[in-house]
Amino acid sequence: MPAQLPADTLPWWKGAVIYQIYPRSFQDSNGDGIGDLRGITDRLDHIADLGADAIWISPFFTSPMRDFGYDIADYCDVDPIFGTLADFDALVARAHALGLKVTIDQVYAHSSDLHDWFAQSRQSRNNDKADWYVWADPKADGTPPCNWQSVFGGPAWTWDARRGQYYMHQFLASQPQLNVHNPAVQDALLAAMRFWLDRGVDGFRLDALNHAMHDPQFRDNPPAPDDGSLRTRPFDYQIKRYSQSHPDVVPFVERIRTLCDEYGAIFTVAEVGGALAEQEMKAYTAGNRRLNSAYGFNFLYTDALTPALVAETVARWPDKPGMGWPSWAFENHDAPRALSRWCAPEYQAAFARLKVTLLMALRGNAILYQGEELGITQVDIPFERLQDPEAIANWPLTLSRDGARTPLPWSVTAAQAGFSSGEPWLPIGEDNIARAVDAQQADPQSLLHFTRAMLALRKRTPALRHGSLEILIADASCLVFRRHTDAQSMLCVFNLGATDREWPIDAPTAGTASLCVNGATIDALPPFGAIIIDERDG
């Protein structure tokens, strides 16, 4: 095991709790039904009181909003529906005053088709930005240059008559693929990153980073073997060997790190999905010249939280030299709410406490999605209210991302649950209104108060924040692991099942309980019970 540094010498992000804000749905300040930057600023006290170390704000940049901000038309400005650059500056100032770091999304795989870069690129084959996007000639029969498919359905190629070529898009046709192989494109993206660093940003989440580069030879992807799972899109029928995950992403990552190092302790985390996610996450974070962290989809789409899943996932990120630092998320703006995936409705209250405890006990950074601290569940959005382009295109087989993007309820009695004075862009969900912040603030036994207590325990316990992790037991329902530093050892015991469990015969019992969840004691594990034991305090 590598020597452990004193806690006060570690960077701020090591073991941080990062609160994800989806700005459209956090707080609306002007009554148009869409959340905005001023709304975020007005509610930052909620996040600071929760005990988070940082916020991550999903895209708020200039955009036609065909993919709700992940189609950027100007990397260096705020979309008017969210406010202005002055509003962003005020948000950063208020966050810093509250002790919160500010991280923002960066989307480097593609832009909007309304970006000035693309408008110029598509005009001809010989202008200054002609090769800033991925263009290719058709085959002899006029069909696309290769068989690549887009994530949202259909070919990853759209014909453009002005150039007489196809352009590539891994997502919507309105999200043309940037040619990040081109050094000039990298320079422009890094200039955009510097723009936000100069405004005081403390870190970046790099969206879909493994989608940023393609095979320049445009070779066909091979077919994926049929594993019996439901395939709702042509994208699911291929192994994405050539359309993404090019090894040249790594040198670009190193350029990002070099820039961020100029500004001190800037945090960088990559979002990585797909069949090669683990391999790429490790490549993007290896050593001291690449990104600080990465997170994948290990927990985001699974239909059950099991000891085996946790044990197998954390075992892939051992505490050894050269290994990157992981980040974990149980929920985000793309994935169904975890409580709706992982337990029956009658167990949700107890499971929510267990889930928060586990997330905060894992080694790595914990990313808490807005509403997790309230136990928000997935909202069933009727087809006529859908906003998500993927769900609309693949209705009814693709679960709508909208159901996890619904507005946050702040008040049980206020109009629109205190989110807005106008009609919200998505329905809030009647079940979730009862989970509003003000109702839970008034109840000392609420999940909100419990989450604050759990974050406080993590913050004051070095072993939980940045210690090593050793799995001791992972059977059908019981998970036991130890978090350890040179000065502290914490035993974390979980019953992930809905029935009583005997205390694991192999689990130690010496020490003092620092936290008991759902009636657990030092020798009893009721359904969804958990206990964290300080082994050196007994």
CB 401 within 8 A of CB 391: yes
- Give every CB contact of residue 159 below 8 A, 6+ residues apart in sequence: 138, 165, 166
Query: Edge-to-edge strand order for the sheet containing 530-534?
Result: 468-474, 478-485, 488-495, 530-534, 512-517
Which amino acid, 350?
A: A
Q: Say whether 49 is catalytic.
A: no
Classify 237 as helix, strand or coil.
Answer: helix
Let me know if 288 is exposed, middle or buried by CB neighbors in 10 A (0-12, 13-18, 19+): exposed
Query: Which is the catalytic residue, given 105, 207, 388, 534?
Result: 207
CB-CB contact of 241 with 223 (8 Å):
no
CB 325 within 8 A of CB 315: no
Contact 237, 272 (CB under 8 A): no
SS3 26: coil
In terms of Cα–Cα distance, which of 373, 535, 376, 342 is closest to 454? 373
Marked catalytic residue, from 8, 198, 226, 262: 262
Three state DSSP letters for 240-272: CCCCCCCCCHHHHHHHHHHHHHCCCCCEEEEEC
Asked if residue 159 lies in contact with residue 135, where contact means CB atoms within 8 angstroms, the answer is no
Judge whether 262 counts as a catalytic residue.
yes
- Residue 314 tokens read as 């954390």
Up-side HSE of residue 251: CA atoms within 13 Å toward CB? 10
**Percent helix, percent strand, percent coil in the chain, to nearest 5:** 30, 20, 50
Rounded Cα–Cα distance for residues 440 and 434 (Å): 9
Q: Residue 165 belongs to what H/E stretch?
A: strand 165-168
The residues annotated with a catalytic role in the active site are: 207, 262
